[in-house]
Amino acid sequence: MTVLFKNIKELLQVREERIDFVSGVDMAVLPTIKNAYLLVKNGNIEDFGAMENCPKIEADKTIDATGKMVLPSWCDSHTHLVYAGHREAEFVDRIKGLSYQEIAKRGGGILNSATQLQKTSAEDLYQQSKVRLEEVVKLGTGAIEIKSGYGLTLDAELKMLRVIKRLKEDYSIPIKATFLGAHAFPKAFKVNKKGYLKLLIEDMIPRVAKEGLAEFIDVFCETGYFSVEDTDTILKAGRQFGLIPKIHVNQFTAIGGVQVGVKYDALSVDHLEEMRDADIQSLKNTRTMPVALPGCSYFLGIPYTPARKMMDAGLPLALATDYNPGSAPSGNMNFAVSSACVKMKMTPEEAVNASTINGAYAMGLQNEVGSITKGKLANLILTRPIPSYSYIPYAFGSNHIEKVYLKGKEIV
């Protein structure tokens, strides 16, 4: 099947040559074509260019995009979309003055979600999660990573990962699964942390790998959670079973997690609200993608990732939602893009690069999505008529998406 988009006001993120990601000053460069066409064939990008060079073909479907823009769909490389229930009561507690850490010490936070998930059937968990997935796709997300980590027992972690696997089978959006058994120490191991590390390494990781339920392994490396030493041990074990490292680091404190991520060639290090000069230096000349989660900073009222300082140092940066019930209950990548511009002082060009091509790399999907490149999947956003692409983050309260396409097919 062929689909022809014609009279596109501006076609964004055009990359003739395949590249993995952009860094430093190149983050500010967003290649576009004005008054463009885009040809899709059998779900892939077949051709594109200026309208004056548009081929005269009889496409199965022709879409007149006059006044509208087309860009690759958002690539959300950090979510916890599979979870049970909600935590709005903790939201009210924070309004009343309790911190995230104080709520966690009272049995809230991750442990609250774990308790709910352990009681939820796999079918119910799937039904809750599919609603969220369908919602974020309609908001423009065309590739997504989903973590476990709200199970904290072998059976519950496997249940989460099997739900993610089922979502991958049932939906055409590329989905990457991450094993995050090291999200928190469960109540049963509160005074036996070595016992939980033993369970992770000797039982959970081998079982996840045997069933092929995850491609990545993640650790919440943070004061009060998993230490740098714990993280080193877990990532080493994961690597032995072929799981690629991704780490939660520097959310509340900087304790050396970035360095252990680099040591194990982590595909990404995520959060980074607290960044020391030494952390930035550690990431230079590596293939590890820093990922900022502005929705979490907004919701918890904590600092934002110092994007300007990092990009000025020559680093790349990706943006993701951190969609989860406790610290970022929104999977809206449009809000992440806008927040990055407003709060992190990223330009619209930088934010789009961070949310498309760099986000794709942070999931290992750079050869499939993230740019308008021949041969990549036609996972696309068609905007409503807008004056410029800067209008997307500028008018943050409005929906600027007219239609979303996955593999060239309109999502309804």
Annotated binding site for N-formimidoyl-L-glutamate, which residues? 150, 324, 326
User: Amino acid letter at 177?
Assistant: A
User: Amino acid letter at 26?
Assistant: D
Annotated binding site, which residues? 78, 80, 87, 150, 183, 248, 251, 322, 324, 326-327
Check residue 119 and report its DSSP letter: H
Annotated binding site for 4-imidazolone-5-propanoate, which residues? 87, 150, 183, 251, 327
User: Amino acid letter at 11?
Assistant: L
Task: Pull the structure tokens for residue 267.
Answer: 């595909």
Annotated binding site for Zn(2+), which residues? 78, 80, 248, 322
Task: Pull the structure tokens for residue 203.
Answer: 């039982």
- Alpha carbons 64 and 406: distance in angstroms, whole number: 18
CA atoms within 13 A on the CB side of 206: 5
Spell out a b/e string for 197-221, using b for 16 or more CB atoms within 10 Å of the CB, else e: bebbbeebbebbbeeebbbbbbbbb
What spatial distance separates the first Cα and last Cα of the chain, rounded to whole Å? Answer: 18
Helices (H), 139-267: 154-170, 193-199, 205-211, 228-240, 257-263
CA atoms within 13 A on the CB side of 213: 24
Query: What's the angle, vertex CA 319, arms to CA 315 and CA 320, rounded to 5?
Result: 145
The 3-state DSSP class for residue 34 equals strand
Annotated binding site for Fe(3+), which residues? 78, 80, 248, 322
Spell out a b/e string for 180-192, using b for 16 or more CB atoms within 10 Å of the CB, else e: bbbbbbbeebeee
User: What element of type H or E holds 216?
Assistant: strand 216-221
